[in-house]
Amino acid sequence: MSLAWEDFVEEVKQRVNIVDVISRYVNLKKTGKNYVGLCPFHQEKTPSFYVSPDKGLYHCFGCGAAGDVFSFLINYRNLTFREALEELAREVGLELPKKDERISAEANIFLEINKAVATFYHIYLNSKYGAEGRLYLKKRGVSSEIQEKFLLGYAPLNPTLLLKYLEKKGFSKDDILKAKVLYFIKDEWKDPFAGRVVFPIMNPRGKVIGFGGRTLTGEEPKYLNSPESDLFSKGKNLYALYQAKESIKKEGEAILVEGYMDAISLHQAGITNAVASLGTAFTSHQAKLLKSYTNKVILGYDQDSAGYQAGKRALSLLELEGLEVYWLSLPHDVKDPDEFVQKYSKEEFLRFVKESKTSLDFLIENTLNLPMNFKEKLEEIIEILTSSILRSKNILVQQEKIKQYLPVISRKLGVPEEGLQREIQKRIFSDRSYRNDVKIEITRYFGVSKTEEVLLGLILLKTNNSQIRNMSPEDFSFPLYQEVLKKWRIWEGTLEEFLNLWDEDKRVLIDRAISSGEEFINQEEVIPFLWDHFQKLRIKKEINKLIEELSKVEDPAKEKELMEEIYFLRSLLEVKD
């Protein structure tokens, strides 16, 4: 019997044992009817991560991470909902229902076209017509093995060669145009990468989602990327992550570089945990993506001023995600990692990696050595330290940074520690004062219903906040919101198409949630407080539930267990306040 998609999701969830799944990644111990362990989503010494097999849910009372078995896999392993569903369905022996989804089918066609295009460019590079591309790669020291590993290619000047190849593979002109690999302009076919060496860009699962092309003629721009689309976004992907992900996990760290050739040269040298941003400023999406694979990142950006500024931006975004960030300083006779490994050995590069300083150490030391006047230097250093402190969410880490760096700055600049500390605390207090005003506003006016309304709106508007974006239907108390999220998490069409599914009465409530979400979607500094407020409401609700349960219990052992849970939850509320 064929199940509807929503019913199928529920069927999978009912059959899966959430404890078995989470136990593969977290060491859980049974406490009463629940299981507890150290949270995999933040660092802690006292376990506050609870898994309830009866409810099929997990919840961390420390950081607020919560959800069902799908949410866990989405957040822990960086899977999409569809991938998590497919994996768990296979485990319990269920076959996904057949569905005629035009959008899903179209996306698969585009992926197949991209794969065929990458194959064509690669074949052309290795043909007698690809000599110019091979000569460039030879000059850059790229071996044939690495060309194969990264599926490097060369695009012919004549775009009809690619067109005919794709048509022979069975793709229609209409799909080729929609995939944006070729264009038809003024009765002529155009290939945006014509005459360029081509770098296929893959997602973490090895699917070709776009391309980068390097000119060989001095044409501008030097590097060109595929246009933004539902499949490809420069700011949401990392070059070479597919080739590097296993090595990153094994080494426990990623080396983040700027360019394609930096990543390729490092892989060729046997340093296979290197990834690169895609010709764009590093983004929070890319930081979150790295966080899925490691907690430590080494910044290997170019040695020039532009590389320094780009590195500072990347550092701030990585720190906000809670990653440990180190700064790789190479000798002044090379401009980037590519040039270094061409000139020196793998062992030499790894020595510099091992000696890399924490990014804060590097920035402060670098600023101390800059040719600036005293006032400018002092202001820059105070700003660097204050910003780093504010990005640290753990107050103990904040205090440690002040304790570690104030004496050094004081000694180097000849400024009293007390004065430095007063200035830094003043700036921290000023920032917190603004945040506290926002927090009071949310706490005062947002009850459970209003908070849930805003959160649902943010989910439908595709907020960047992963905790909110990956919430489960069970996180909501309002049945309509649960129903909406059950449908939304498997929806692949547009928001407008989704809204048309609902009758007028429900549509009004969903539209209101979207309007509420729109008030917050661009206020990144407010959303964490909203999430924190929601967690407090949940904890209070859980406490009230346990108190009610306690009033009906006669067994002394059970009474003690409930009292301990209530005490623990109340202590968490005190910490959050």
pLDDT in tens, 368-419: 888 888 888 888 888 888 888 777 766 667 678 878 888 888 888 888 888 8
Alpha-carbon torsion 38, 43, 45, 47, what sign? Answer: negative
Does the pLDDT value for residue 432 go beyond 70?
A: no
Instruction: Domain 5-92: give its CATH superfamily.
Output: Zinc finger, CHC2-typedomain (3.90.580.10)
Q: Is 149 helix (H, G, I), strand (E, B) or coil?
A: helix
Query: What are the two backbone dihedrals, phi and then psi, of residue 271, each rounded to the nearest 5 degrees?
Result: -100, 85
Q: What is the pLDDT of residue 322?
A: 80
Helix (H), strand (E) counts: the chain? 26, 16
Whole-angstrom CA distances from 302 to 123, 306, 307, 338 are: 32, 8, 5, 10
Confidence of residue 531 (pLDDT cuts 50, 70, 90): confident
Q: What is the pLDDT of residue 148?
A: 97
Q: What is the mean pLDDT of the chain?
A: 85
CA distance linking residue 370 with residue 364, whole number of Å: 10
Q: What is the pLDDT of residue 331?
A: 93
Q: Which residue has the higher pLDDT, 411 or 160?
A: 160
22-27: long-range contacts, CB 8 A cutoff, minimum separation 24:
22/51, 22/58, 22/69, 22/72, 25/76
Confidence of residue 218 (pLDDT cuts 50, 70, 90): confident
Whole-angstrom CA distances from 559 to 53, 126, 550 are: 21, 74, 6
Q: What is the pLDDT of residue 199?
A: 98
Percent of the chain with pLDDT over 70: 91
182: alpha, beta or left, given left = phi > 0 and alpha = psi -120 to 50?
beta
What are the extents of the domains in the chain? Answer: 5-92, 99-232, 236-355, 364-436, 450-572
Across residues 305-330, what is the average pLDDT?
Answer: 88
Q: Nearest CA to 529 among 462, 456, 449, 468?
A: 468
Across residues 161-180, what is the average pLDDT?
Answer: 96
Confidence of residue 1 (pLDDT cuts 50, 70, 90): very low
Pair of tokens at residue 436: 């506290």
Confidence of residue 103 (pLDDT cuts 50, 70, 90): very low
Does the pLDDT value for residue 506 go beyond 90?
A: no
Q: At what angle do helices 359-368 and 374-391 cross, to 10 degrees?
A: 170
CA distance linking residue 356 with residue 136, whole number of Å: 32
Query: What are the two backbone dihedrals, phi and then psi, of residue 481, each rounded to the nearest 5 degrees?
Result: -65, -35
Q: Is 459 helix (H, G, I), strand (E, B) or coil?
A: helix
Q: Is 101 helix (H, G, I), strand (E, B) or coil?
A: coil
Confidence of residue 446 (pLDDT cuts 50, 70, 90): low
- Spell 225-254 as b/e; 16+ CB within 10 A means b: bbeeeebbbbebbbbbbbbbbebbeebebb
- The answer to whether residues 74 and 81 touch, using CB atoms and an 8 Å cutoff, is yes
CA distance linking residue 485 with residue 459, whole number of Å: 9
Pairing of strands 183-185, 324-327: unpaired
Across residues 38-48, what is the average pLDDT?
Answer: 84
The beta strand positions in 53-114, using DSSP E, are 57-60, 66-67
Does the pLDDT value for residue 101 go beyond 50?
A: no
Sheet containing 254-257: give its strands across.
Answer: 274-276, 254-257, 296-299, 324-327, 357-358
CATH number for the segment(s) 236-355: 3.40.1360.10
Does the pLDDT value for residue 574 go beyond 70?
A: no
User: Which residues are paired to 224 by β-bridges?
Assistant: 213
CATH number for the segment(s) 99-232: 3.90.980.10
Lowest mean pLDDT among 19-23, 123-127, 144-148, 465-469: 465-469
Does the pLDDT value for residue 225 go beyond 90?
A: yes
Across residues 510-525, what is the average pLDDT?
Answer: 82
CA distance linking residue 262 with residue 199, whole number of Å: 13
Q: What is the pLDDT of residue 420?
A: 82
Does the pLDDT value for residue 100 go beyond 50?
A: no
Q: Which residue has the higher pLDDT, 438 or 526?
A: 526
Q: What is the pLDDT of residue 476?
A: 87
CA distance linking residue 559 with residue 114, whole number of Å: 62
Percent of the chain with pLDDT over 90: 35
* Peptide bond preceding 221 in cis form (omega within 30 of 0): yes
70: alpha, beta or left, given left = phi > 0 and alpha = psi -120 to 50?
alpha
Q: Nearest CA to 381 among 352, 411, 355, 354?
A: 411
Q: What is the pLDDT of residue 235?
A: 85
Q: What is the pLDDT of residue 292?
A: 76
Q: Which residue has the higher pLDDT, 444 or 96?
A: 96
Angle CA(331)–CA(335)–CA(339) in degrees, nearest 5?
A: 90
Which residue type does 192 have?
P
Confidence of residue 477 (pLDDT cuts 50, 70, 90): confident
Confidence of residue 572 (pLDDT cuts 50, 70, 90): low
